[in-house]
Amino acid sequence: MAKKPNSWVLEQTGVNRNLLANVNSRKLRYFGHIMRREDKSLVKGIIEGTLPGNRKRRKPRTVWIDNVTSWTRLKLEEAIRKVNNRPAWRTAIHSAAYPQIEDG
């Protein structure tokens, strides 16, 4: 019946919850899923940013490609090449979402 905060329970059980890493990992996996498609679907066009049309003048929105290139530290061409090689893409996702902190 004792009331303990969630942070205390997580610390006692040794569980580490990292919401941002989970979101990044899922977003990168979805990017790989969409980019492996052979057709020119609407979703693939949206993610690639190849749809025709202009936006009003203002600050540019952050797009999927910007997130993928910044998280994986790969150029777009390299990322698309790795998407087609699933083991390499899984490694890239894991290293981007869960970076190792080096003590130096």
Residue 3 has pLDDT above 70, yes or no: yes
Kindly indicate the confidence band of residue 98, based on its pLDDT and cuts at 50, 70 and 90.
confident
> Tokens in use for 10?
């997580």
Tokens 């009331």: give the residue.
3
pLDDT score for 50 = 66
Name which residue leads in pLDDT, 16 or 66: 66
| Cα separations in angstroms, 89 against 25, 37, 80, 85 | 11, 15, 9, 6
Residue with the bigger pLDDT between 17 and 7: it is: 7
Domain ranges of the chain: 28-51+58-98
> Is it the case that residue 90 has pLDDT exceeding 90?
yes
Q: Of 37, 49, 24, 26, give the one whose Cα is nearest residue 84.
A: 37
Are 71 and 24 in contact by the 8 Å Cβ rule? The answer is yes
Say which residues have a Cβ less than 8 Å from residue 66's Cβ, sequence separation at least 6. Answer: none
